[in-house]
Chain A
């Protein structure tokens, strides 16, 4: 059985009988406005569901707590003075009276950089002990705990380096936003802001771009508890308003586009000969007979194509190079085109690449490599 069939069998075996909590549908219906389809606030459901209770019980009883190294240091400056944060490329000012708790917990693809504020945060990993029906022999579960007492605020700083691979934050794409989110600008770069709806513990979340990093994000999560919410919110908003990036975002000049395109394509072709088709001069066209598209396996038959190259600067300090291969119709294929996006840094070095718009039917579908 090939991996695809085995995966299908395994997914069906493990998921076909999976059922949500019995009250899930009722909880959803409760959220639906009787006034008709319209925007409604999103509320997270309680995180403990019946199917999860056994695991949580095991966690509470048998878990061995393994605190991750935390270095607490108090600031004793006078009220109103500011301290400066500069770590992992993110810089900002914050009230010097706040405590900072350096975490450094590095989970898969996400790092908790720091906790700041008048409350506190703790990042831990717990050992999981399986129950009798669990199909694992051991495991760990990592997470964080914020302690926010009345009149306190905690700011949690995280950096996510993917996966997932969401692509750049693009304010021109409103469909990428979840309910309650909106695009803002932080430190001159696109960002996403969302505000929680819990009135007792308001939360604020910013998702920031990372300069020259397509799939990375800085995450600023804030929890507060009154009294004094207005002042704490003003402090947090001042923090966000002071954000800058270190090193700063490279300034890309459109006039440099042709030079960068030539560098990028030379380097890309050295790694993958399927890029050889694309002209090094943006706007020019070239013809070739190819046996492979970028990121594909070998085509079942050579394909004559016309190749074009476009390049433009993107807000996070990367060049976006759009490479298109188009072909005409023949007896065994329809006309079509395939676009590949190649992201280049300010020196022209290729980074992420992705498939862009493609045809309804690929010609000479590539041979599957075993």
Chain B
């Protein structure tokens, strides 16, 4: 965390709404991408990010060590995204048949392979998507994945192990 971000967290924790606003502007895009990787819907990802920041503002006083802000807020974002998948939605299901290849700069085979993977990922349970996204999109080490999910490291390992297995099974199903 940069010194500027640390100062913003410190000021926000003491009730400085302007500092918190700066924090929101700085961190919303990354939080959105993490939420989007879990909920897979832009509108719901934005709802999750909104709720995450509101929870953060509400509970910021409980953050004793500002150095822990990134992990603390990541955990709140993941929880908000998972809650979003459990919340009743006006439109609950979108089922897409993906194109086998899409014209573009990349080789068609590469693009089709990626689409197949993303389709398999989309069909996984949100809990599985969360742990896979934290590990392979947020590029977190396992202890940080465990912290973001609020589970012990051993549990994170076993869940990741099973999620990868289910991803492979989904890919076999897709193909």
- A residues sitting closer than 8 Å to B (CB atoms) are 3-4, 6-16, 18-21, 24-25, 27-29, 31-40, 42, 44-45, 47-49, 51-52, 107-108, 110, 128, 135-144, 158, 160, 162-166, 175, 178-179, 205, 219, 221, 293, 295-297, 336, 338, 355-362, 365-366, 368-369
One of B36, B53, B153, B157 near A28 (C-beta < 8 A): B53
A19: chain B residues at CB < 8 Å are 29, 32
Q: In the bound complex, do residue B113 and residue A20 qualify as a contact, i.e. CB atoms below 8 Å apart?
A: no
10 contacts between A and B (CB under 8 A): A20-B32, A27-B50, A44-B47, A137-B98, A139-B97, A160-B86, A164-B86, A356-B155, A360-B154, A368-B161
Flag if A295 contacts B42 (CB, 8 Å): no
Interface residues of B in 142-167 (CB under 8 A from A): 143, 150-159, 161-162, 164-165, 167
Residue of A nearest to B171 (CB): A3
Report the separation of the CA atoms of residues A369 and B162 in the bound assembly, to the nearest whole angstrom. Answer: 11
Please tell me if B78 contacts chain A, counting CB pairs below 8 Å: no
Interface contact B93-A108, CB-CB below 8 Å: yes
Contact (Cβ within 8 A) A24 B50: yes
- The answer for the CA separation of A131 and B82 in the assembled complex, in Å, is 29
Q: Which residues of B contact A138 (CB under 8 A)?
A: 96-97
User: Assuming A143-B89, A164-B126, A338-B154, what are 9 further A-B pairs, CB within 8 angstroms?
Assistant: A11-B37, A15-B36, A28-B28, A135-B102, A135-B115, A175-B150, A179-B58, A221-B88, A355-B155
* A8 touching B136, Cβ below 8 Å: yes
A369 with B165, Cβ < 8 A, contacts A32-B17, A135-B102 known: yes
CB-defined contacts of A11 to chain B, threshold 8 Å: 37, 118, 121, 133, 136-137
CB pair A40–B58 under 8 Å, yes or no, is yes
- Count of CB-CB pairs between chains A and B under 8 Å: 232
Interchain CB contact under 8 A, B92 and A107: yes
Determine chain B's interface SS by DSSP, over half rule.
helix
Q: Do the beta carbons of A358 and B158 come within 8 Å of each other?
A: yes
In the A-B complex, the 9 residue pairs with the closest CB atoms: A358-B154, A163-B125, A36-B15, A143-B91, A139-B96, A20-B32, A8-B136, A11-B137, A136-B96
Q: Is the CB of B155 within 8 A of A296?
A: no
Do B46 and A21 touch (CB < 8 A)? yes
Cβ distance A147 to chain B, nearest Cβ, rounded Å: 13
Contact partners of A221 in chain B: CB under 8 A: 88
Q: Is the CB of A163 within 8 A of B113?
A: no
Q: Residue B155 contacts which of A8, A357, A368 (CB distance < 8 angstroms)? A: A357
Question: In the complex, A167 Cα to B83 Cα: how many Å?
Answer: 13
Q: Is A10 in contact with B117, judged by CB distance below 8 angstroms?
A: yes
State A137–B53 Cα separation when bound (angstroms): 36
